[in-house]
A and B are shown apart, each in its own frame.
Chain A
């Protein structure tokens, strides 16, 4: 029992160290990687443009629900005019970075884990090595850099469309005047809120895409499964670990910045 616990602990710390080394190598290998621009553009397209419809839909409904729930709750205290600050603070500080990250992980992160896992299984990554091409620079670096660009932009889109959703709930479907809503939103958002939002988006982007790349890249190392099942297991692992890491990192950053 004791030795099994020790072995598991060592394995977990070993894998954490391996992940940290993998991520560091992914970023540093970008320096010498040739024709990075074309691969970076493709990664931005996959993580950004292709995820935009989901971000906009989820952002709209999040804002709609926040507006609806917030209006009726605040109305009970005679403070319906505070709906704008409630929606704005909830979205910008917490919901936009967290939900945008989870949506990108679900759509682009899972796809890139599966793609890398298949490339590992079909020896495409070995082939890059034998050609003298660093697979980290070729496959991982553009995706990590794209995440740092895409996550803040997608988070901003999520927050903006969420604010519109809150306005639709509070001022179009319910009787709160639009001018009250937008003026209170404007007053409620400070530079520290925007900074917290950007920090969270950058951390979530760097963390989740690195986790997705790592799980795809090491699909052949799954001891219990091989082949297609290893790719499937790696994809599941990537999505689960990324989602947990987003929520854990969110708590840590909030507790540091609040």
Chain B
């Protein structure tokens, strides 16, 4: 558990977040890829994709079986730093519908410990459309708290009422910037002030470039900003500075 303790050390100082407003609510973006909502003491995390490795192994592709451990250790460190009263997992928490059933005992124990004394909300996703088995927490398709709505997939309409205050995951946003002929690609938050897409948190989750047309269904062309995840800080860019893959 040395990785865990090093994470602990890293986050025991009060976590510094990049504060932005979504639909008028002050929320903090954190460089670990989670969203912190101070007024509600709520931590939001998207696309954990737990048990992705074993999901592939079932099909004969033997990805390393360490993804669940890595993701949970990282999550534990973040939880320790923020100590939230409520946690919202924004869907695709498990890579497939049987994922929670396959979850090995030590990780189940670890996850259960994280859930102690907290309100825990599982939002369903396309990978995990059903409630996880043998785990605490309330399962919902989406949930509205104050001016914010939490759902897995963004509503594919720009400027719709439903899009106002929407916080979602699903797309695994990543952005690329170019400097001196070299380019850097990182996972990122994407927002236009009205809605926010979180980066995928899971260890084996790839990213989709924000210039991909999937994002043009939810943000106006070039009218959004990204916050790329760096080591210990976020790097903000406006959409005009980004390049495709």
Chains A and B are bound partners: no
Binding site for B on A (CB under 8 A): none
Binding site for A on B (CB under 8 A): none
